[in-house]
Structure 1
Amino acid sequence: MWTESEVVCGEFQTVPLSESKSDFPGQPYSVSVLKAGYCLPQTGGTFRASGTITLITGPRTILVDTGGPWDRDFLLTTLKERGLEPGDIDMVVGTHGHSDHVGNLSLFPSAVMIVGFDISEGDTYSPNKLAEGQAHCIDEHVSVVPSPGHTGQDVSVQVTGTSVGTVLVAGDLFECCSDEDSWRDLSMDTAVQEVSRQEALRTADVIIPGHGLPFRVLRN
């Protein structure tokens, strides 16, 4: 089931899941990674990157991050393969505002949008307390959790009741399982992000990072 050795993250150990392990059934919600993101250094100091795209299905259909504009056709095709059209998506969550994570928001005009700490439906924005550090509960099983650091308004999506326990769709809170200190180079506030990362490791059983395969969290 595992493809690499364990990685130590402070008092926790993280274990990457195999590439085939991308669907996490559950009741009432299931979580599926439609595309695992990547970040690949190139010559000349550039890098190629694309964010993870995740689908949550159950009483509501929730898309977490939409990939970059270059993912448009892939996203539409993959949703169609699962019997879904853009109008079937009830909610879209953008974990943060970078182009490789929110490049296809316009495909879902009828969905409730949560991007960073903003919640909107059409042009109507709703008050919330994400900026005050409080989770926004979709229902008793799904919550949008503030997890700043990579940017000032990052959020993650927590799903309980899956076959692997609590799944956290974390955006770029974690680049990948073995990001070690590399995440610091991309962080707006490393101290704040470290706090967010430790909270995620304390509460999640499986984390879906922004640029890699899902990984399991092991606690002593």
Structure 2
Amino acid sequence: MSEVIVLYEGYSAMSGADQMSANCSCTLIKGVNNIIVDTMTAWDSEKILTALEKHDVRPENINYVVSTHGHSDHIGNNNLFRMAKHIVGFSISFQDQYFMHPFDKGEEFGINSSVKVIPTPGHTLSDVTVLVKTKENGIVALTGDLFEKLEDIEKPSIWSEAGSEDPVQQMRNRSKVADLADWIVPGHGPKFQVTKEIRESLRKHKGNCS
């Protein structure tokens, strides 16, 4: 089993007519492999280092970096972790070596027995979600912007207006992940528990797009 520690909760809010303040959730997974998921903006390196230190983790102790997609608020500090293998969307690399994996065919990538990365395109066409088996919280899904925040379940315009390269796939993958997970860490809001009502609501939205 692995432990999921949300280092920083993501947020997003309009701060002007054509301006938004936003940053992504940044999460540490401790276990057989130490993994950091989504490394915030390029201005957040000290925040991440300080948060990791509180959990007795140094950058060289990180085995994998996973960026759920390639937007700038999710990859800003990947270079802190030069001993780690990097998964950015559908791309897997270490230094100048790239490893082919058929995410585009729907195949998951297993990091270890309690952590796997699954393709969940929609927000971008190469989005991924990290699924983690935990002792305390069951299956925790680190979804990036597949889910913006809890409120986007009842108000889908939140995620669609945040940008979606394929809204139909995004609706389907939102429902798929909710059916798999007990908790979700969304891209721009606090962790939330997946209830029966949430699953039913997402199935309804998915059905409307079929």
TM-score normalised by the chain length of structure 1: 0.85
- Per the alignment, residue 104 of structure 1 pairs with 77
Higher relative contact order (CA 8 A, sep 6+): 1
Q: Secondary structure at the match of 1:70?
A: coil
Q: C-alpha separation between the residues in 1 aligned to 2:53 and 2:111?
A: 25
2:135 matches 1:162: yes
Corresponding residue for 2:159?
183
2:194 is aligned with 1:217: yes
CA deviations on 1:93-146 (whole Å, 9 max, x unpaired) are 000001111001111111000000011111111111111111101122110011
Q: Which runs of 4+ in 1 moved over 6 A?
A: none
| Aligned amino acid, residue 94 of structure 2 | E
Structure 2: distance between partners of 1:44 and 1:217: 33
3-state SS in 1 of match to 2:17 = helix
> 1:58-207 counterparts in 2 under 5 A?
58-179=31-152, 180-181=155-156, 182-185=158-161, 186-207=163-184
Residue 55 (structure 1) aligns with = 28
Q: Which residue of 2 aligns with 1:12?
A: none
Mind listing any 5+ residue stretches in structure 2 that lack a counterpart? 198-210
Hey, what's the Cα distance between the residues in 2 that align with 1:114 and 1:136?
10
Distance (Å, rounded) in 2 between the aligned partners of 1:150 and 1:211: 13
1:201 Cα offset (Å): 1.0
How far is the alpha carbon of 1:88 from its aligned partner?
0.6
2-structure distance, mates of 1:193, 1:41? 23
Question: How many Å apart are 1:162 and its aligned residue?
Answer: 2.9
Residues in 2 aligned to 1:139 and 1:201: alpha-carbon distance in whole angstroms: 22
Identify unmatched segments of 5+ residues in structure 1: 1-27
Query: TM-score scaled by structure 2?
Result: 0.89
Secondary structure at 1:187's aligned position in 2?
Answer: coil
Task: Identify, as 1 or 2, the structure richer in helix.
Answer: 2
Superposed CA RMSD? 1.0
Amino acid at match of 1:94: S
State, as a whole percentage, how many aligned pairs show the same letter: 40
Counterpart CA distance in 2 for 1:133 and 1:62 is: 22
**Residue 43 of structure 1: how far off its partner (Å):** 1.4
How many equivalent pairs are there?
A: 193
Question: SS of the counterpart of 1:114?
Answer: strand
